[in-house]
């Protein structure tokens, strides 16, 4: 067993953050017998990790002081910027490493990289590809961009712990979030196509089962997973269930991609269509008591545009039984 590890801290225990933190903590415990320090604004979200032996910190400042490497998993740009400001206010950051796993705008990534660098810290962006179930399995796809020595330091906690593979994008942190935003509008476009295909199959009588089998056999795991989210009602979670990937995060993520493309004069027609459908799904959520919806809920909008109910028969029956 190895005897030394950098002290790791984790800020942010949303569904994705909690899954990644749990896997890193388990690895730390097994390999080094040391805990993962953690902080979350809503304290109760850390109860499960604390029960596993994670060590709770009372503030971002305390966690930053006690950690050599600080991971951030937040909801959006504003949250990351606030956390970074609190890390800076904690004291000397010389020899500290900050790694952000949040999907934020590449411009924001560049700004916080410069801000932390001015304080003597090293920074890397490490957004991840995959929904919560994938994070729980430790099989995310990680995009990393930052200093080589930072990668060497955190590499033991990536592949085989939280990730199935790591894409090294370069030394400029904003390149990792640029890759992630590119992937996001591609994913949204794929969801749009699959949603349209399912509506087409339903209205022509082809049926969902054979289409879903085709997606599984001929279009790969991601396409099949998106299909399952639609056919099993994940796109519109039932009572007490949570989205695999929240609609609000999808609006942010796809919006960043569309905006980044606009800045360089690229028109993302499919991406814009998907974004518009996500915005309309948000309206549907608001009109139905702020009902939580998955990022795949654009399927409901495609259904409505073709004269179908936002809800599939499966969802209607499931909701009636709850």
Question: Is residue 203 a contact partner of residue 129, using CB atoms and an 8 Å limit?
Answer: no
* Count, residues in the chain: 322
Tokens representing residue 192 in the block = 């749009």
Q: Any idea what the Cα angle at residue 162 is, between residues 159 and 165, rounded to 5°?
A: 40
Per-position b or e across 73-103, b if 16+ CB within 10 A of its CB: bbbbbebbbebbebbbebeebeebbbbbbbb
Q: CA-CA distance, 143 to 16, in Å (whole number)?
A: 15
Radius of gyration of the chain (CA): 21
Active site residue 180: yes
Question: Is residue 19 a contact partner of residue 30, using CB atoms and an 8 Å limit?
Answer: no
The residue from 22, 96, 180, 252 that is catalytic is 180
Q: CA-CA distance, 67 to 97, in Å (whole number)?
A: 9
Q: CA-CA distance, 120 to 140, in Å (whole number)?
A: 30
Q: CA-CA distance, 219 to 52, in Å (whole number)?
A: 39
Q: CA-CA distance, 60 to 9, in Å (whole number)?
A: 10
Query: Which residues participate in catalysis according to the annotation?
Result: 180
């Amino acid at each position: 067993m190895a005897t030394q590890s950098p002290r790791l801290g984790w800020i942010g225990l949303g569904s994705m953050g909690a899954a990644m933190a749990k896997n890193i903590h388990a690895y730390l415990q097994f390999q080094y017998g040391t805990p993962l320090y953690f902080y979350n604004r809503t304290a109760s979200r850390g109860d499960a990790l604390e029960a596993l032996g994670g060590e709770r910190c009372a503030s971002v400042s305390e966690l930053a002081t006690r950690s050599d490497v600080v991971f951030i998993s937040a909801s959006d740009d504003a949250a990351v910027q606030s956390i970074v400001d609190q890390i800076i206010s904690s004291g000397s950051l010389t020899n500290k490493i900050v790694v952000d796993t949040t999907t934020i705008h590449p411009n924001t990534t560049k700004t916080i990289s410069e801000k932390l660098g001015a304080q003597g810290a090293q920074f890397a962006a490490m957004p991840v590809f995959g929904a919560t179930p994938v994070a729980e399995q430790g099989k995310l796809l990680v995009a990393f961009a930052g200093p080589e020595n930072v990668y060497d330091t955190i590499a033991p906690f990536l592949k085989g712990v939280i990730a199935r593979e790591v894409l090294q994008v370069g030394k400029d942190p904003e390149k990792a979030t640029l890759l992630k935003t590119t992937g996001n509008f591609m994913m949204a476009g794929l969801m749009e196509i699959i949603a349209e295909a399912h509506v087409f199959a339903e209205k022509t009588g082809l049926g969902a089962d054979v289409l879903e089998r085709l997606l599984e056999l001929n279009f790969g795991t991601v396409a099949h997973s998106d299909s399952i989210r639609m056919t099993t009602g994940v796109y519109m979670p039932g009572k007490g269930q949570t989205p695999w990937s929240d609609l609000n995060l999808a609006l942010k993520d796809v919006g960043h991609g569309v905006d980044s493309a606009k800045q360089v004069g690229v028109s993302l027609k499919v991406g814009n269509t998907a974004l518009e459908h996500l915005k309309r799904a948000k309206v549907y959520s608001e009109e139905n008591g702020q009902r939580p919806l998955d990022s795949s809920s654009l399927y409901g909008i495609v259904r409505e545009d073709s004269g179908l109910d936002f809800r599939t028969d499966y969802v209607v029956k499931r909701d009636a039984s709850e």
